[in-house]
């Protein structure tokens, strides 16, 4: 039974998907605190959170069964992604699923701010009719500065252009052509600050964007500027904003998000020229349904089929690419596994992808799968696709990855070379054969066609008559049944290799007995 803990409430559409899946139990306990979550999390394979629950390193440490954390939303700043990656836990979100809601909320805040709508509502509730007090400003022909032209920033830009605003954009991580396509002006941050009547921020909260609007940057803004934040609280230094609102340099602000939520003690709460909503950007019926359906199906895809989408700590793969990659994922894992068992103390790992099947598909998942396969036989700790690259780095294994169109006739071929201590060096290539069968097609200089599965003995010997007979007799003496055998000879015809698939594991004494034969150079048992 796969158990999923839903922490922060999830629209019923997603719950329905989870609960109708076979072998899945989705629990929705109400309003759990951190300590309560920590106490029950060890029973769960996955958890779904929105922004309320903080998935800390401490929480992750306690969750021995946890394989995935699903964020029904965009921002993952409430999840310690690094701690999750180190433990091999996949973190995924639902990018774009609430973008329309957040963009429309931004526009609603901007219009409400420009026309003092919340203040006028409050005044009327007090029985007043203050027409003169609430004279506003139009957006028409005003300049809007958008910081961060991602999914939400782009929708805001499009709608602002429809309202005939001039739109300036600052985003150092996009190419200027992206702005040109949208019909907005790509400018420097200083030019955006100096030239905008309204500024709206739409970046994630990162080390680089924390307090992007602070005392220094607010000082560069146009007097009378209005500021909107429907992204993340930490993007604005709230104390600095209060100063600029108090001295009138900033005419007003509209905030949906706060550095601490709920914002008890925020220096902005009593400012008359600031309007607020309690983190409602994604609170539309449609967005809640979208994120709920998206995270539930993504989580099931991962837990039941290993398909990864919208992961924060793993490269995502589309369904189409996944279907193409599927046989190669198996191949990659077995090839890595073979090399992990053949080579001691790997120092260098070199992966080459060849052939038409492996062109124009994301190769990172395959690389991470090779690494997982390689480290699995030697690590006590659980290795999976998420923590594999981290473990590789920790073990100081140098990785190189290349592609080539030359594939010796195979539609797709992966070669994994490893170099260990001393002279330990192996090169193994495998390809996918019809029926999606994966076969070892080369081991060092030996050309083969051996199925890459099960328990195998790899025996290298001097090519002398009687050696194969001896191998068969020895294994027979130890009651080890041979399922099949692939033989290959070196180009010089002096040495040979046998890949012997056996039905049961050969005991150490059998391997020793084989090694003691004068013609046998090398014997290694590998389990794939």
In whole angstroms, the minimum distance from the beta carbon of 150 to ligand MLT comes to 12
Angle at 77 between CA 233 and CA 268, to 5 degrees: 10
- Run of H or E including 403: strand 398-404
Which one-letter DSSP state was computed for residue 376?
G
Which one-letter DSSP state was computed for residue 222?
P
- C-alpha 154/C-alpha 138 separation (Å) is 21
**Contact partner at residue 357 from ligand MLT, ligand NAD, none, CB < 5 to 8 Å by partner kind:** none
Dihedral class, residue 224 (left if φ above 0, else alpha if ψ from -120 to 50, else beta) = left
Of the candidates 149, 155, 140, 151, the residue with the CA atom closest to the CA atom of residue 168? 149
Would you say 77 or 463 has its CB closer to ligand NAD?
A: 77
Annotated catalytic residue, options 50, 226, 232, 517:
232
**Contact partner at residue 202 from ligand MLT, ligand NAD, none, CB < 5 to 8 Å by partner kind:** ligand NAD
**Contact partner at residue 149 from ligand MLT, ligand NAD, none, CB < 5 to 8 Å by partner kind:** ligand NAD
Which one-letter DSSP state was computed for residue 305?
I
Active site residue 261: yes
**Which residue number is nearest to ligand NAD in terms of Cβ?**
150
Would you say 51 or 460 has its CB closer to ligand MLT?
A: 51
Would you say 93 or 142 has its CB closer to ligand MLT?
A: 93
Would you say 75 or 472 has its CB closer to ligand MLT?
A: 75
Would you say 253 or 443 has its CB closer to ligand NAD?
A: 253
Provide DSSP, 247-262. Answer: TTSEEEEEES--SSSS
Would you state the structure tokens that stand for residue 343, as one six-digit string? Answer: 């080579």
Of the candidates 196, 205, 151, 202, the residue with the CA atom closest to the CA atom of residue 178? 151
- C-alpha 134/C-alpha 379 separation (Å) is 68
Would you state the structure tokens that stand for residue 411, as one six-digit string? Answer: 């539609």
Number of helical H runs and strand E runs in the chain:
17, 22
**Contact partner at residue 153 from ligand MLT, ligand NAD, none, CB < 5 to 8 Å by partner kind:** ligand NAD
Would you say 95 or 136 has its CB closer to ligand NAD?
A: 95
Would you say 99 or 213 has its CB closer to ligand MLT?
A: 99
In whole angstroms, the minimum distance from the beta carbon of 73 to ligand MLT comes to 3
Annotated catalytic residue, options 261, 289, 437, 453:
261
Of the candidates 288, 280, 170, 268, the residue with the CA atom closest to the CA atom of residue 230? 280
In whole angstroms, the minimum distance from the beta carbon of 13 to ligand MLT comes to 16
Would you say 288 or 474 has its CB closer to ligand MLT?
A: 288
Exposed (0-12), middle (13-18) or buried (19+): which is 366, by Cβ within 10 Å?
Answer: buried
In whole angstroms, the minimum distance from the beta carbon of 134 to ligand MLT comes to 30
In whole angstroms, the minimum distance from the beta carbon of 70 to ligand MLT comes to 12
- C-alpha 121/C-alpha 118 separation (Å) is 5
- Cβ neighbors of 105 (< 8 A, separation 6 or more) are 230, 256, 277, 280, 281, 283, 284
**Contact partner at residue 89 from ligand MLT, ligand NAD, none, CB < 5 to 8 Å by partner kind:** none
Active site residue 489: no
Chain contacts with ligand NAD (rule: CB under 6 A): 74-75, 95, 98-99, 102, 147-153, 170-174, 202-205, 208-209, 230-232, 256-257, 279, 281-282
In whole angstroms, the minimum distance from the beta carbon of 325 to ligand MLT comes to 29
- Which SS3 state, helix, strand or coil, does residue 516 take? coil
**Contact partner at residue 15 from ligand NAD, ligand MLT, none, CB < 5 to 8 Å by partner kind:** none
- Which SS3 state, helix, strand or coil, does residue 337 take? helix
- Which SS3 state, helix, strand or coil, does residue 338 take? helix
**Contact partner at residue 70 from ligand MLT, ligand NAD, none, CB < 5 to 8 Å by partner kind:** none
In whole angstroms, the minimum distance from the beta carbon of 98 to ligand NAD comes to 5
Would you say 84 or 205 has its CB closer to ligand NAD?
A: 205
**Contact partner at residue 50 from ligand NAD, ligand MLT, none, CB < 5 to 8 Å by partner kind:** ligand MLT
51 in Cβ contact with 75 (< 8 Å)? yes
Helices assigned H by DSSP within 21-90: 34-40, 57-62, 81-86
Annotated catalytic residue, options 50, 87, 105, 279:
279
Chain contacts with ligand MLT (rule: CB under 6 A): 50-51, 73-75, 98, 279, 281-282
Active site residue 87: no
Would you say 98 or 200 has its CB closer to ligand MLT?
A: 98
Would you state the structure tokens that stand for residue 108, as one six-digit string? Answer: 């609603």
Helices assigned H by DSSP within 71-140: 81-86, 99-114, 117-125
**Contact partner at residue 148 from ligand MLT, ligand NAD, none, CB < 5 to 8 Å by partner kind:** ligand NAD
Q: What share of the chain is helix, strand, coil (3-state, %, to 5)?
A: 35, 25, 40
User: According to the 3-state scheme, what is the secondary structure of 192-214?
Assistant: HHHHCCEEEECCCCCCCCCCCEC
**Which residue number is nearest to ligand MLT in terms of Cβ?**
73
388 in Cβ contact with 375 (< 8 Å)? yes
In whole angstroms, the minimum distance from the beta carbon of 16 to ligand MLT comes to 20
Task: Enumerate the active-site residues.
Answer: 232, 261, 279
């Amino acid at each position: 039974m796969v158990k999923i803990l839903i922490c922060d409430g999830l629209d019923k559409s997603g719950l329905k998907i989870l609960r109708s899946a076979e072998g899945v139990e989705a629990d929705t306990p109400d309003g759990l605190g951190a300590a309560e979550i920590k106490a029950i999390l060890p029973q769960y394979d996955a958890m779904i959170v929105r922004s309320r629950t903080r998935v800390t390193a401490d929480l992750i440490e306690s969750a021995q069964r946890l394989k995935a954390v699903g964020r029904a939303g965009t921002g993952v700043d409430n999840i310690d992604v690094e701690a999750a990656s180190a433990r091999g836990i996949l973190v995924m979100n639902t990018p774009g699923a609430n973008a329309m809601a957040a963009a429309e909320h931004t526009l609603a805040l901007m219009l409400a701010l420009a026309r003092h709508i919340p203040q006028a509502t409050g005044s009327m509730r007090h029985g007043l009719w203050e027409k003169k007090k609430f004279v506003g400003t139009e957006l028409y022909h005003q300049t809007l500065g958008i910081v961060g032209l991602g999914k939400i920033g782009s929708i805001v830009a499009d709608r602002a252009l429809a309202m005939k605003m001039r739109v300036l954009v600052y985003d150092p991580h996009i190419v200027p052509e992206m702005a040109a396509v949208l019909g907005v002006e790509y400018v420097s941050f200083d030019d955006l600050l100096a030239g905008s009547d309204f500024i709206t921020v739409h970046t994630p909260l990162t080390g680089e964007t924390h307090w992007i609007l602070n005392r220094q940057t607010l000082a560069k803004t146009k007097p009378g500027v209005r500021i909107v934040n429907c992204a993340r609280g930490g993007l604005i230094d709230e104390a600095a904003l209060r100063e600029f609102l108090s001295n009138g340099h900033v005419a007003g602000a509209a905030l949906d998000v706060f550095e601490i939520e709920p914002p008890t003690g925020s220096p902005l709460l009593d400012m008359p020229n600031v309007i607020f909503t309690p983190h409602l950007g994604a609170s539309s019926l449609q967005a809640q349904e979208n994120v709920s359906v998206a995270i539930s199906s993504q989580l099931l895809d991962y837990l039941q089929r290993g398909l990864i989408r919208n992961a924060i700590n793993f490269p995502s793969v589309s369904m189409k690419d996944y279907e193409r990659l599927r046989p190669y994922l198996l191949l990659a894992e077995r090839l890595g596994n073979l090399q992990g068992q053949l080579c001691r103390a790997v120092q260098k790992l070199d992966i080459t992808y060849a052939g038409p099947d492996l062109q124009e598909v994301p190769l990172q998942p395959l690389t991470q799968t090779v690494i997982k396969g390689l480290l699995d036989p030697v690590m006590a700790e659980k290795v999976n696709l998420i923590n594999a690259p981290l473990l590789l780095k920790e073990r100081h294994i140098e990785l190189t990855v290349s592609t080539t169109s030359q594939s010796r006739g195979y539609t797709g071929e992966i070669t994994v070379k490893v170099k260990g201590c001393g002279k330990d060096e192996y090169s193994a290539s495998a390809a996918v054969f019809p029926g999606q069968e994966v076969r070892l097609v080369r081991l060092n200089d030996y050309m083969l066609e051996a199925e890459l599965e099960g328990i195998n003995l790899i025996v290298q010997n001097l090519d002398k008559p009687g050696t194969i007979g001896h191998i068969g007799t020895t294994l027979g003496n130890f009651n080890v049944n041979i399922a099949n055998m692939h033989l290959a000879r070196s180009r010089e015809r002096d040495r040979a290799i046998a890949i012997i698939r056996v039905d049961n594991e050969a005991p150490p004494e059998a391997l020793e007995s084989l090694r003691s034969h004068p013609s046998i150079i090398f014997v290694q048992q590998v389990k794939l």
